[in-house]
Structure 1
Amino acid sequence: MRSRGETGTGISRRGLLGAVGLAAAGAAGCGAPAGDGGGSPQAGHVTAPPPEGVLGANFNGDPSTMTFAELQAVSATWLRGFFPMPDAEQGPPEGRPAIGALLTAAGRGYGTVLSLKFPFDRRPLPVPGSTAMAAELQRLDKVLPVVLNRVDILAIGNEPFIETRAADRGDRLNDFYETIARHVTAYRAEHFGDKCKTRLYMGALNHLDRPAWRTPAAERWMRFVRETPSIDGVDIHPHLPAPAAGQRYLDYVLPRMRPEQRFLATEFSLVLLWKKHLSDPVAPAFADRYSVPRGTPVWRVLKNAIDHPFPQRQWDDLLAMSPWFAAHRTFLWEQMDRFRRTGRLAVATYGVGQDAAMVRDFGPDKTPWLLNSLFCPYTVQPSGGLPGRNRAWTDAFRALQHT
């Protein structure tokens, strides 16, 4: 999805410190062998399991929303982020925050997933053979030498059907991404042969629970995935209005792939369900306990938490006393079970931390991404050296590392 601050400039003191720390770690690790941790040794190493039914952490495009201490606190062993391809013009890719963080994580033993983001929602998609397409391929040639054989999984695309103008979401979209995929495949074969550890996926499809998004272009996308031997599978982003809607994604993509192919779910959540309840009155029990006027809408209470972060107990109570949230506290368990029962999940990743754009101009129409995050630095007071957290998610995330 696009509205979580992928280009936001607001950053908290914590986010700034996280960015500085990760940048320093990335600089130490860049160019180092895959086994060289780099960065500060106290963060420690992990041993990532193979990509078979794994639940990892996701920072999207901004690694300043997390620290390695937070990853350790929830026992994470896999990490995902995306890289906007125009940033390849801003200097060496290994020095950009997202790639630097993933390379540092790889050096510390984490499994890593990098999604390449091509933002064309405000300009036409390049046509193969054009000057604009040549420029995109030149950017790729800056990034591929840095990440291939170092990250475990490279997803070609982030959310192509959202990050493309509506007028281009037909054959033009397919032509563009198929050209990119063939270029990546050819580069990997030429420079690494069969020894490259990086697996390739096409990503990611959105809103497959809605018939209107199952277009001829989506069918062609899946056909290309199925018919291209170098592609290991497809990425999906099930942001859902109800838990059962996640099955519709699986029902769509699994029959359209080769039996040995797998899927990623590098983003998933119930954020569309949370949004339905922003204008509900806050639970009376919560209102009475914390001297909030009865009838105050949920969005206003969340805005209060943004303006004056709650103690952990108050945040816990807000969620536990809200029936629309409490009824779905087991969502991570249920969705991971749904994914794993297919026998074809490679890696799913879940959002680590709130970012500045999640809380900017918060109101009744804002998509409440802030309710998805494991850690909640913008709405919950820190404790024990870590930001406040959403215990429904952190407890489940940690337990799911061992099931």
Structure 2
Amino acid sequence: MRIQNEPKPVSRRWLLGASGAALLTAGCSDTEGKADTGGKADGGGSTSGKDAVVPGGVLGANFNEDPSTMDFSMLEGLSAGWLRGFVPMPEIDETPAEQQAAVKALLSAHDRGYGTVLSLKFPYNHRPMPAADSSAMDAELARVDKVLDAAMGKVDILAMANEPFIESLKKDHDGTLNAFYEKVARHVIAYRKKRFGERCRTRLYMGSLNHLDRPDWRTQATERWMTFTRETSEIEGVDIHPHVAAIEDSQKYLDYILPKLRRDQKFLVTEFSLVLLWEQHLRDAIPAEFARRYKLPAGTKVWQVIKQATEHPFPQHKWHDFLSMSPWFETHKHYLRNQIQKFRDTGQLAVATYGVAQAPAMVKDFGPDKQPWLLNSLYSNLVVRPEDGKPAPSYGFFDDFRALQRAQDHRPVRTAETRT
């Protein structure tokens, strides 16, 4: 996910700023709710007596790179049993891997019995990607090793890319990108085998493909990506990020990847949303009923109301009125429920994760040209005033997320080990 109008370079200090309820401050030192993770047979023993399982059809929560906007009480409010985030690899040069924000958050979640998904992000948007046999490649693999030292055998799933075709220059889609990520994948596979022998808790997936609903994003490079995924026995599937304008467009992702996977492989969906649909309506006039009720000028635009909420958060009833009176949202308030059903119906979904909270970058300098990621989140924590000190649940999505949770996905999660 990329947030338009985000300051460059991205400042994590700004993003992580002053969240008193930060997930990281909840930290590993708080033992309340921890699961016993000492079991060897399946990579994660528990006190519940549940049998270890292969992840399938799971719906979890996602914080991307910034866990500071959420805490474990928010996950408990959602009844979530799984959590996903990504680590920007350059940060490993500045911070020990086990202390890097996303890694630390997921390790803490693991200690509390959550299932976890970690994606590796290699940002090459503004510079050439190194050749697979270069010293720069060796430096990347050294960073990877530090993350693996901290997380391999603890996280349940490792995605060996975040959004590779977005996080790279177009010219590197000539084969350089594929060679880079294939080198990373082989390195991770060899590391896992050497350290853990025949079996390991951590399952390996190739990271996410974007815009597969557009023909010009289904290329020789994406074909090679899928071929490598299918032909590498240690890889259990591929990740997709269907941010779309209509739920039908996500089917195009499935139509592309599913025939290219082995019969024993599954897919991840670590990000998905209707953000492109929301974006189409930012310049719409707000509903007349909403304007009358809240004494707003006729012709006020959707983006202007959202901007007001980012600057002076609304009472919950006002925000819910805004969305429920807007046909473009009201008719899609069960998108999450409908989309997960489509993913589960394939029989090949491993884990899907959905955005938990609104982050500062989503609301900063909001305007008509900024993608409205904030409309996706399960909590409306930055546009609605908290009630009784608790962040406001989102309209529609929050209740559906809770209803979609299954008993087999509740904490403590015990995933079966996989062959290395």
Shorter-chain TM-score tier: over 0.9
Q: Secondary structure at the match of 1:233?
A: strand
Q: Secondary structure at the match of 1:72?
A: helix
What residue number does 2:97 align with?
93
What residue number does 2:135 align with?
131
What residue number does 1:230 align with?
234
TM-aligned CA deviation for residue 2 of structure 1: 1.7
Q: Secondary structure at the match of 1:348?
A: strand
Q: Are 2:270 and 1:266 equivalent residues in the alignment?
A: yes
Structure 1 stretches of 4+ with a deviation exceeding 4 A read: 4-9, 45-50
- Native 8 Å contact 2:16 2:66 kept in 1: no
Q: Which amino acid aligns with 1:198?
A: T
Q: Unpaired runs of 5+ in structure 1? A: 37-44
TM-aligned CA deviation for residue 314 of structure 1: 0.5
Q: Residue 71 of structure 1 is aligned with which of 72, 75, 81?
A: 75
Is 49-58 or 370-379 further displaced after alignment? 49-58
TM-aligned CA deviation for residue 26 of structure 1: 3.8
1:334-356 superposed Cα distances (whole Å, 9 cap, x missing partner):
10010000000000000000011
What residue number does 2:398 align with?
394
- Native 8 Å contact 1:115 1:203 kept in 2: yes
1:218-269 superposed Cα distances (whole Å, 9 cap, x missing partner):
0000000000000000000000011110100000000001011000000000
What residue number does 2:24 align with?
22
Q: Secondary structure at the match of 2:230?
A: helix
What residue number does 1:362 align with?
366
Q: Are 2:295 and 1:294 equivalent residues in the alignment?
A: no
C-alpha change, 1:275 and 1:49, in structure 2 (3 Å) is farther
Query: TM-score, length-normalised on structure 1?
Result: 0.93
Aligned-partner Cα distance in 2 for 1:187–1:49: 24
Q: Unpaired runs of 5+ in structure 2? A: 39-46, 408-420
Count of residue pairs brought into register by the alignment = 391
1:343-392 superposed Cα distances (whole Å, 9 cap, x missing partner):
00000000000011101111111000000001122100001332122121
TM-aligned CA deviation for residue 7 of structure 1: 4.6
Aligned-partner Cα distance in 2 for 1:358–1:321: 23
- Native 8 Å contact 1:151 1:198 kept in 2: yes
Structure number with higher helix proportion: 1
Q: Are 2:87 and 1:83 equivalent residues in the alignment?
A: yes
- Native 8 Å contact 1:34 1:106 kept in 2: no
C-alpha change, 1:7 and 1:158, in structure 2 (3 Å) is farther
TM-aligned CA deviation for residue 96 of structure 1: 1.1
Aligned-partner Cα distance in 1 for 2:257–2:307: 38
1:135-183 superposed Cα distances (whole Å, 9 cap, x missing partner):
0011111111111100000000000000001111220000000000000
RMSD in angstroms over aligned alpha carbons?
Answer: 2.1
What residue number does 1:249 align with?
253
What residue number does 1:160 align with?
164
User: Whose relative contact order is higher, 1 or 2, with alpha carbons under 8 Å and at least 6 apart?
Assistant: 2
Q: Are 2:315 and 1:307 equivalent residues in the alignment?
A: no
TM-aligned CA deviation for residue 402 of structure 1: 3.3
Aligned-partner Cα distance in 2 for 1:235–1:201: 7
Q: Secondary structure at the match of 1:251?
A: helix
- Native 8 Å contact 2:26 2:72 kept in 1: no
Aligned-partner Cα distance in 1 for 2:85–2:397: 19
- Native 8 Å contact 2:210 2:240 kept in 1: yes
C-alpha change, 1:112 and 1:237, in structure 2 (3 Å) is same
What residue number does 1:345 align with?
349
Aligned-partner Cα distance in 2 for 1:26–1:278: 41
Query: TM-score, length-normalised on structure 2?
Result: 0.89
